[in-house]
Structure 1
Amino acid sequence: MDASSAPNVTRLHADGAFALDKSLWYNLSLIVLIVLGSVGNGLCFYAVVRYKFLRTVPNFHVTSLAVSDLFVCVLVLPLTVYNGLRTGEWNLGGFMCHLWPFFASVGSLSCKLTLCVISVDRYLSIAAPVKYLKYRKPRIALAVITATWLAVFVTSSPLISLTSRYRGSECFPTETIFDIRATLAVCLFVLPTCVLVVVNVGTARAIWKINRPRRIGPGRNPDAPGIGNVPAPNQRDVQASVLKMQQKRSETPGCSTHRSTPIRYPAGLEADDATMANIPGPSSSKEPQRVASSAAVAAVTVHVNRRQQRDTDPRPNQQPRIEDILAARRKTSFAVIAVVVGSYIVCWLPFFSIILYSKQHPEVYQTPVAPWPLVASRWLGFLNSTINPIIYASMKRDYKRAMKMMLRCRRA
C-alpha cells in the first residue's frame, strides 16, 4: 500500500528478476478485489442510506468501516494495478505520485481506528449499559465518526511529501521510506491491535458474566431441580408443616375438631390436580383432620412436582424467555465484531511483520524487485477490505434482510 514498489520496470526485466507485483495474474486478482470490494462496501453504505431500520449507532460505525474499505478499493487498489501493469513512465503526474501513499495511509488508518471505536462502543454498551445509554445517540456517534476521519487525514497528511518523489516522469520512494514505514507499522498496527485485543477480551468477559447462570444462596447448583433454582421442599417437612397448621387450627377456641376443614390448595393448583392424584375431597371422608392433612400434603407435592417439571424440563414449544433472547443477541453482536477484528489481524499481521523485520534487516530491499513475501502479504491486506461486507451480510440479521430487499428491489 505504498510507493516503495515502483522502481524502473526496464531495469527489473534487464536484471532478469521475477517481479510478482508486475505479473498479469497478480494484477488481475487485484482487479477482482476492486470489483468485489467496491460492490460489497457500496451496498453496505447504500443500505444504511436507503433503509431506516438500519440507521442505528452500531450500523453507523459499520458504515464508517465500509467507507474505509471503499476508500481502499476505489483509490488505492487502482493505483497499485496501474503501477503493476505500466511498462514505461509514470503518466499520472507528480500530484498522484504524492497522493498514492497518502490514500493508502488514510484507508488503512481509518479502518483500524473505526474498528477500535466499534469495539469500545460494544464494550461500553454491555459493561455499563445504563450509564452509556445517554451517550449512545446518533448525533454523538456521527460526531465521533467525524472526529475519527479528521484525525486520520491530519495524521496522514505528512506522507504527501515524505514518502515519495516525482522526478523525470518517474515516481519512486524517498530515502526515509524505511524509517517512516516502520514507525507507521507500530502506530497503525501494533497499538490499535493491542487496543482491540484488550477491549474485545473485556467484552467477552462482560458477556460471560451477564449470561452465566445465577446462583441463589451459597453452594446452590443452578442446574439443580426446584422452583427458580431453589431446591424443592422435602415431603416430610411439608407434612410436618401441614400437621402443625392443622393442630393450631384445631386448638383455636370456638372451632369444632369434628367439623370438616376445607382444603386450601396452593396457588396455581387446579381442582383436577387433587383428583388426578387420587386425593379425596373434604366431603367424601369420615376422618376430616387426617384426610385434610394427607390431602394438603399431596396437593403441595403435586404442585411442587409440576413446577419442577416445568422449570427443569421445558417443553419444545415453550416460548423463549426475554433473557435468553437478549443473551443470544449479545453473543451474536460480539461474534460479528470478533470475526471482523480477527480477520483484520490475520490479513494485516504478515505485512506489518515484514515491515518491522525489514527495518532490522535492510538487505531485504537491496534486490531490484519488491520481495514476493511483501507483495503477497500486501495482497492479503487488500483482501481484508473485500471480506468485511461478506461478514456483515452473513452474520448480521438486519444487513441480511436489507440485502434481500435490495436484490428484490423492495422498499422498507
Structure 2
Amino acid sequence: MNNTTDSDKSLGAKITIGLVLGSITFVVIFGNVLVLLSPFFSRNLLKKPTYIFLISLAIADLLLGIIVLPFSSIIAVTGTWFFGPVVCNLYVSSDVCFSTSSILHLLVITLDRYYAAASPFHYKTRMKQNCALLIVIIVWFVSVMISFPPIHTGLNTDDGVIQSYEDRSTCVLETNKIYSLVDGIGLFFIPLIFMCVLYVHLILIVRKKGAVSSKNSYKERRLVITIAVVLSGFAVCWVPYFTIFTVGELFKWQAHPVVSDVVLWLGYLNSSINPIIYGLLNQKFRDAFRKMLCITCNKTDASSNYSMSRTSYYTTNNQALSRMKNTTKNKNGCTNKHIYEEAISSSPTKV
C-alpha cells in the first residue's frame, strides 16, 4: 500500500518530509502506547467488551507505527527501496494487514455501540468478554488472510507472479481487479456505508429514548458525538486513498506519485487520531492518560522537593551549629566545644 516518489528532491525537501513523517510516526506510536498502558492505571477498562475492541485497535495501530511507518517514511523521502524483495513483501503484507485490521476494528466498535444502545438488555447478557475476544480473533484472521497469503503467492498480481522480484529498487502493492474489489470495496466501502447506516439508526434511537426519558440522555448524546467524530476522522483519512486504490485499478488510471503518497499518509494519520479522540471524549481513558502523564512529573517533583528539604535542613543545622560554636560560654559556664559536641550528638542522621 505504498507508492514511490521522485528521488530527485532537494535536500531541504527531504529533511522537511522526513520531519513531518517522523512526527506522525511518533504520534502514532506514543498515542497507542498510552492506550495499551491504560488498563494498568484503570483496571475497569478490560471488564467491558468495548474496551477490549479499543485495546485491540490500539495494537493494530501501534504495529503499523512500529513496523510499517518507518519503511514508508524512507520510501517517501528517498523514492527508493533498499531492503530487498523478501522484506518488501513482508512490509507490504504488514501494511495491508494492520490497516485492514484498524478499519475492521472501527466497524466492530460501531456495531458494538449500536447494539448496546438498541438492545441494552440483550447486550449485557450476551456480549461478554469471551464473545468480544472471539470477534477480535475473527477480525485479525480476516486481516491476515487478505494480506499475507495473496501477496506471498502472487494472487494479487495480474500474471500470478510474486511481486517485488523483478524491480528490486521499488516496493509497491501490485493489484489485479479481483484483489482491488475485495480489499477496496469489500473491506472498506461496504463497511463504511454500513457504519454510516448504523450511525443514522443510532441517532434515531437516542432521539426516541430522549423523548421518553432524559435520564441517560447526556450519556447517549456523548456516545453519538464520539461515534460521529471517529467515523468522520475515519472517512476523511481513508476515502481518498481507497478511491484512488480501487478506481485506479478498475479503470487502469494511475495518480501522480506525490498525490498517492499524500493520500496514503492521510490514511496512516487515522491511526494517530484514534487515541486523541478517546483521550478527549472518554472519561476512563482520559483519567488513565492523566495518571500516566503525571506520574513522571510527580516523581520529578518529589525528588526535587526531597533534595530541597535535605539542603534546607543541613543549611539550617550548620548555621545553628556555627552560631553555637562561636558563642563564648553559656550561662551555666559550659564551653562552646561542649555545646557543639552536644548538638552534634543529638542531631538526626536522616531527614
TM-score range, shorter chain: 0.7 to 0.9
Q: 1:97·1:166 contact (CA, 8 Å) conserved in 2? A: no
With normalisation by structure 1, the TM-score equals: 0.63
Task: Provide closer, same or farther for how the CA distance between residues 94 and 49 of structure 1 changes in structure 2, counting only shifts above 3 A.
Answer: farther
- 1:152 is paired with a residue whose SS is helix
Corresponding residue of 2:111: 120
Corresponding residue of 1:212: 211
Tell me which moved more, 108-117 or 168-177.
Answer: 168-177
Corresponding residue of 2:75: 83
Deviation at 1:167, TM superposition (A): 4.0
Corresponding residue of 1:35: 26
- 2:126 is paired with a residue whose SS is coil
Q: How does 1:6-405 map to 2 (within 5 A)?
A: 6=4, 13=8, 23-55=14-46, 56-86=48-78, 90-157=81-148, 158-162=150-154, 164-167=163-166, 169-173=168-172, 176=175, 180-181=179-180, 183-213=182-212, 323-324=214-215, 326-364=216-254, 370-405=256-291
Q: 1:37·1:386 contact (CA, 8 Å) conserved in 2? A: yes
Q: 2:92·2:172 contact (CA, 8 Å) conserved in 1? A: no
1:142-185 CA distances to partner (integer Å, 9 max, x unpaired)?
A: 22112211221122221234353124743444764576345422
Deviation at 1:351, TM superposition (A): 1.3
Cα distance in 2, alignment partners of residues 175 and 136 from structure 1: 39
Q: 2:176·2:249 contact (CA, 8 Å) conserved in 1? A: no
Cα distance in 2, alignment partners of residues 178 and 142 from structure 1: 33
Task: Provide closer, same or farther for how the CA distance between residues 174 and 391 of structure 1 changes in structure 2, counting only shifts above 3 A.
Answer: closer
Please list every run of 5 or more consecutive structure 2 residues that lacks an aligned counterpart in the other structure: 157-162, 299-351
Give the length in aligned residue pairs. 286
Give the letter aligned to residue 82 of structure 1.
I
Higher relative helix content = 2
Percent identity at matched positions?
25
Task: Provide closer, same or farther for how the CA distance between residues 26 and 211 of structure 1 changes in structure 2, counting only shifts above 3 A.
Answer: same
Task: Provide closer, same or farther for how the CA distance between residues 63 and 33 of structure 1 changes in structure 2, counting only shifts above 3 A.
Answer: same
Q: 2:39·2:45 contact (CA, 8 Å) conserved in 1? A: yes
Cα distance in 2, alignment partners of residues 396 and 188 from structure 1: 27
1:243-291 CA distances to partner (integer Å, 9 max, x unpaired)?
A: xxxxxxxxxxxxxxxxxxxxxxxxxxxxxxxxxxxxxxxxxxxxxxxxx
Task: Provide closer, same or farther for how the CA distance between residues 92 and 180 of structure 1 changes in structure 2, counting only shifts above 3 A.
Answer: same
Cα distance in 2, alignment partners of residues 57 and 363 from structure 1: 42
Q: 1:122·1:334 contact (CA, 8 Å) conserved in 2? A: no
Please list every run of 5 or more consecutive structure 1 residues that lacks an aligned counterpart in the other structure: 215-322
Q: 2:53·2:132 contact (CA, 8 Å) conserved in 1? A: yes
Deviation at 1:381, TM superposition (A): 1.0
Task: Provide closer, same or farther for how the CA distance between residues 28 and 187 of structure 1 changes in structure 2, counting only shifts above 3 A.
Answer: farther
Task: Provide closer, same or farther for how the CA distance between residues 174 and 197 of structure 1 changes in structure 2, counting only shifts above 3 A.
Answer: closer
Corresponding residue of 1:409: 295
Deviation at 1:356, TM superposition (A): 3.1
Q: 2:28·2:61 contact (CA, 8 Å) conserved in 1? A: yes
Task: Provide closer, same or farther for how the CA distance between residues 79 and 160 of structure 1 changes in structure 2, counting only shifts above 3 A.
Answer: farther
Deviation at 1:66, TM superposition (A): 1.3
Deviation at 1:125, TM superposition (A): 1.0
Give the letter aligned to residue 39 of structure 1.
F
Give the letter aligned to residue 327 of structure 1.
S
RMSD of Structure 2 on Structure 1 (CA): 2.7
Point out the structure with max Rg over C-alpha: 1
Cα distance in 2, alignment partners of residues 379 and 173 from structure 1: 14
Cα distance in 2, alignment partners of residues 23 and 362 from structure 1: 30
Deviation at 1:192, TM superposition (A): 1.0
Task: Provide closer, same or farther for how the CA distance between residues 200 and 167 of structure 1 changes in structure 2, counting only shifts above 3 A.
Answer: same
With normalisation by structure 2, the TM-score equals: 0.73
Deviation at 1:105, TM superposition (A): 1.0
